[in-house]
Chain A
């Protein structure tokens, strides 16, 4: 995806304001979509379940977190809890024979509602204090879920004290979504729609208001932006994305709604992903998610290889420890040297080629 701008002149604001302004950008997005459609024909089961499906489903969550934190500046440490709300809601709805798509959307809406409630403190506090308030979601919601879920799930469907629930097999317009292949395509389609929505939000009135609040809330208010309204909107929409991704994670990735998966660790990972990928960048959410999914796989392969070469066994505990160190160090380094994350490096490459061959 290299955006060559040379020779491209827009004669109307309409085309100048299109989602992809430069023909080459349109072509590269089309190319990327083709790759996304072709990959599954070559992918092994391992690729699907360890890389592709988690990438598609988690990216929806990082997109939402980036809207909230990267664009609107509302730091959230409770994203995993909102993911859990979406995942459980959708699972329970599916059990009660609500159609798949409706269950996913309603899961998102339930998460949005809950996110909205936990966003209320943002009207009064910001920064570190707000982060602490959202941490409450991370403690309260899993507890609430483990209390409420056993009450609404018919006995026999829930295991392990009642808060681990297996969803029935979802089906789309009468067709079961079962194979990894099918799960991949359904997740891909939903991710594409959610991405277009996010891109539209950030390039219009709402996105500008969010960034204005993030960059200078006093000026935003004096320019007539209703700060509280847009902060709450950021919480609701960010949590909606979390909820939708939660539904897809449960149906297609984990295969089970288990509250233990949606812990603080996941919230921090997602926050790290958008910092590494790029705060306030849509494509950065993709980079960041790819990073958190590929890093452990990469470390696992390379450390095992090195260990074998040196003649000793590298335990999985050591690998996990090293993963945390690398991840934490990268977050810190990027926050200091390049707060715009991987997306900024990408931008630099693009800028170099944008005016190519006349780069003066």
Chain B
């Protein structure tokens, strides 16, 4: 059963056709890896899904509901949580507060009750704090809960960002290169968290990743983008054998040489 679908998505920037008729299907409970050479359009596709870019053509459907063209905050409220390729944590907030911002969209207290710290606001703050602590436990970051996020190294920033996205209680999680810039040990931790999120919370995940080892290990299906087009899709093994994929990657390598 498809929970998220992108149909025939097109988008151009000036003369650059970043996406040309891309289809994507994410099924309930699966991890879908999106791979492709640099500049293939992976991040652009995520930006279209999360409402940051409006596709020139095509639709985005979440549980069958059309969310194309909704403003990004409404898309978040509809149930799409994500992290960013170039981490985008809130430097001035602590780790705990960063994660609590994730809960912002489903919290209800308005500015008056916040100002008075009355009844609803107080109850809700404590509730959300408890919820955030569960995420903090899960990600094993208890020791830094009161550290300003701006002071953290990359490995922990990526973890905090994952925590923040989880606090949104999303229906779908988009992870844009969550392992970029991490060392081997940190990558293993992150891979474990992604698997746990998927298995224990039953959350479907779209994972953009360059590390083929990780992709082959943890994804159920793989989709390959090149120059804004989908060139292959299937199980990790099928995709690895696909001559088009080999070509795309070899092409990049020979260009790079």
Question: Which residues on A are within 8 Å of B, measured CB to CB?
Answer: 13-14, 16-17, 19, 197, 200-201, 204-209, 211-212, 214-216, 218-227, 233, 237, 280
On chain A, the residues within 8 Å of B75 by CB distance are 222
The CA of A13 and the CA of B92, in the complex, are separated in Å by 22
Q: Looking at the assembled complex, report how far the CB atom of A328 sits from the nearest CB atom of chain B, in whole angstroms.
A: 25
The CA of A166 and the CA of B172, in the complex, are separated in Å by 62
Give the bracket for the number of chain B residues in contact with chain A: 35 or more
Given A206-B111, A211-B93, A225-B73, residue A13 in contact with residue B133 (CB < 8 A): yes
The CA of A93 and the CA of B84, in the complex, are separated in Å by 52
The CA of A206 and the CA of B71, in the complex, are separated in Å by 20
The chain B residue with its CB closest to the CB of A199 is B117
Which of A205, A224, A227 interacts with B125 by CB under 8 Å? A205
Question: What DSSP secondary structure best describes chain B's contact surface?
Answer: helix
In the complex, the 4 A-B pairs of residues with the closest C-beta atoms, listed nearest first = A224-B105, A224-B76, A219-B88, A204-B114
Which positions 93-145 of chain B face chain A at CB distance < 8 Å?
Answer: 93, 97, 100-102, 104-105, 107, 109, 111, 114-117, 121, 124-126, 129-130, 133
Which of B71, B90, B111, B168 interacts with A212 by CB under 8 Å? B90
Report whether A216 and B90 are in contact in the complex, using a CB–CB cutoff of 8 Å: yes
Report whether B126 and A221 are in contact in the complex, using a CB–CB cutoff of 8 Å: no
The CA of A197 and the CA of B115, in the complex, are separated in Å by 5
* B26-58 interface bits toward A, Cβ cutoff 8 Å, 1 = contact, 0 = none: 000000000000000000000000111000000
Q: Knowing that A206-B114, A212-B90, A215-B89 touch, tell me 8 more A-B residue pairs with CB under 8 angstroms.
A: A13-B129, A14-B126, A205-B125, A211-B92, A211-B93, A216-B89, A220-B90, A222-B82
- Residue B164 is within 8 A (CB to CB) of chain A in the complex: yes
Point out which of B50, B73, B84 has the most chain A C-beta atoms below 10 A from its C-beta: B73
Report whether A225 and B116 are in contact in the complex, using a CB–CB cutoff of 8 Å: no
Q: List 25 A-B contacts (CB under 8 A).
A: A13-B126, A14-B126, A200-B117, A200-B121, A204-B114, A204-B117, A205-B124, A206-B111, A206-B114, A206-B115, A208-B101, A209-B104, A211-B92, A211-B97, A212-B101, A215-B91, A215-B92, A215-B93, A219-B84, A221-B71, A222-B76, A222-B82, A223-B73, A223-B101, A223-B165
